[in-house]
């Protein structure tokens, strides 16, 4: 029997944003109204469907255990006076996220939800917690269904998964916050003789990056996951060219090693207007 175990991580779905994921059937609003996804939302929705139905399905084939981690910011929320919303009703956003995720979680043996940014998912990440409960996500001993930090032991391969990470407006410094996170973990591990994670996973920035540094028995990996949200008005103010990365990441653990398999779906920067 195969010893392969697969940890799939997706994050930053931002359901409720007019630039985030939306069910193809639309979002049910109050008083009988309905919000239908734009052509751009249909495009990232198709990427979401292809990621799970083809990429993840193929990698999960023959796995001893299939684990899904939803790494925060499952809805957009109502923040910073934004108007880029399908609905500012939080219950509507949460219901749409559950509609999207319920068919997905059925294909996994275990599901975890990690809490995202309070600006998006409310004080104490209430929305991520409610969605986690509705999906039957694995709870903490204390009873909550979502985690601020998730530590996983996958056949001796230690994962540390959390949502937050520093951001940058410069592509030249995209690795800086990731290295700071690695160094902080190394300092704490050395100072208190704690185990150093073999794989660190972060999200929040909507840009995939993978770093690895050597250690005595292999490597320490640090990965920032892509997202399922297009450029927002806030991003347009900060940067005109860099696009968010759309997709997710699978971590294949087998024979004491971890193979990282990301899947990114390119999005066009823009089409010139012919005049």
Mean pLDDT of 138-166: 95
Most confidently modeled range among 28-37, 169-178, 266-275? 28-37
Q: What was the pLDDT predicted at 180?
A: 93
Q: What was the pLDDT predicted at 159?
A: 97
Lowest mean pLDDT among 115-129, 156-170, 227-241: 227-241
Asked if the structure places residue 196 within a domain, the reply is yes
Q: How confident is the model at residue 239 (pLDDT cuts 50, 70, 90)?
A: low
Q: Taking CA 77 as the corner, what is the angle to CA 226 and CA 128, rounded to the nearest 5 degrees?
A: 70
Asked if the structure places residue 144 within a domain, the reply is yes
Asked if the structure places residue 213 within a domain, the reply is yes
Total of domains in the chain? 1
Q: Give 217 or 143, the one with higher predicted confidence.
A: 143
Asked if the structure places residue 271 within a domain, the reply is no
CA dihedral 11, 243, 20, 274 (to 10 degrees): -160
Asked if the structure places residue 102 within a domain, the reply is yes
Asked if the structure places residue 165 within a domain, the reply is yes
Domain boundaries, position 75: 5-264
Is pLDDT at 145 greater than 70 in this prediction? yes
Q: What was the pLDDT predicted at 120?
A: 93
Q: Give 70 or 2, the one with higher predicted confidence.
A: 70
Q: Residue 220, Cβ neighbours under 10 Å: how many?
A: 18
CATH number of the domain at 53, please: 3.60.21.10
Most confidently modeled range among 55-59, 83-87, 210-214? 55-59
Asked if the structure places residue 270 within a domain, the reply is no
Rounded-to-integer distance, Cα 31 and Cα 89, Å: 13
Is pLDDT at 2 greater than 80 in this prediction? no
Helix (H) or strand (E) holding 238: helix 233-238
- Residue 32 is classified by DSSP as G
Q: How confident is the model at residue 76 (pLDDT cuts 50, 70, 90)?
A: very high
Asked if the structure places residue 243 within a domain, the reply is yes
Is pLDDT at 132 greater than 80 in this prediction? yes
């Amino acid at each position: 029997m195969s010893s392969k175990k697969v940890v799939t991580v997706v994050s930053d779905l931002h359901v409720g944003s007019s630039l985030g994921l939306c069910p193809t059937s639309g979002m049910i609003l109050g008083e009988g109204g309905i919000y239908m996804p734009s052509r751009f939302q249909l495009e990232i929705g198709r990427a979401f469907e292809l990621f799970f139905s083809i990429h993840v399905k193929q990698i999960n084939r023959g796995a001893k255990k299939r684990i899904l981690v939803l790494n925060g910011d499952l809805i957009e929320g109502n923040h910073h006076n934004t108007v880029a919303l399908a609905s500012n009703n939080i219950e509507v956003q949460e219901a749409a996220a559950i509609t999207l995720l319920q068919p997905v979680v059925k294909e996994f043996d275990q599901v975890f939800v990690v809490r995202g940014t309070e600006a998006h998912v409310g004080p104490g990440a209430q929305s991520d917690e409610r969605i986690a409960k509705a999906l039957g996500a694995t709870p903490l001993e204390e009873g909550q269904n979502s985690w601020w930090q998730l530590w996983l032991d996958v056949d001796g391969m230690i994962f540390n998964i959390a949502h937050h990470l520093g951001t940058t407006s410069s592509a030249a410094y995209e690795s800086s916050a990731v290295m700071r996170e690695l160094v902080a973990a190394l300092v704490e591990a050395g100072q208190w003789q704690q185990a150093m994670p073999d794989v660190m996973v972060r999200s929040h920035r909507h840009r995939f990056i993978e770093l690895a540094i050597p250690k005595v028995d292999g490597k320490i990996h640090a990965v920032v996951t892509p997202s399922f949200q297009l450029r927002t008005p806030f991003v347009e103010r900060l940067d005109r060219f860099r696009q968010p990365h759309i997709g997710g990441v699978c971590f294949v653990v087998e024979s004491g090693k971890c193979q990282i398999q990301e899947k990114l779906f390119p999005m066009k920067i823009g089409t010139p207007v012919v005049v």
